Amino acid sequence: MPTTDAVRVFLGVGSNVEPEANLSLCIRELRRRYGELLLSPVYRNKPVGFDGADFLNLVVGLETHLPPATLQADIESIHALAGRTRGGERFSSRPLDIDLLLYGDQVSDEPGYRVPRSDVLRYSFVLRPLADIVPDLVHPVTGRTLAWHWAEFDDAAHPLDAVDLPL
C-alpha cells in the first residue's frame, strides 16, 4: 500500500565486481522505476573487512510513494539483475550492493528495516557522498547536518578517490 505523500529516500550503491557495468545497470533500473534521481559523485575505496578489488560507491536520492518493504523488494530485484545472491559472507566482493540509508526522517530498528542505517555515520564512502548532495539534511537521530558530520569525520580512516564515471 503506497504512502500518501512522496518520501525522500537515499540509497547507498556500491560494486567491486565489474563496477562500471553494475553501477550503470543499477542507475538505469532506478531511473526506470523511480524517475528523476539525485546522484552523488562516485568514489573509489578499498574494501572494508576483507581483501579484494576496490569498490566504486555513490549515493542515490529519489522520491517514492512506496512503503519500505516494497522498496526493499525492488532493491532485491535489482540485486538479482546484477547476479547478486544472498547468503554469502557478509564482507565479500559483490557485483552490486544497494542499501537503504535514509527513508525520510523515519527512525526504525525493525529487522529488515533499520533507518537511518548506521553506515551513514560509520563509513566515508556513505557519509561523504550524502554530504555532497544534501549537506544541509539533518540526520534524524543526531539532529546535526550531514555537512557537520562530514566535517567531524576522520576521513583518513577510509580514504576515497573521486572517479569520473558518467551514470
Question: Hey, which residues are catalytic here?
Answer: 84, 94, 97, 99
Place of cell 533500473: 29
Place of cell 576522520: 154
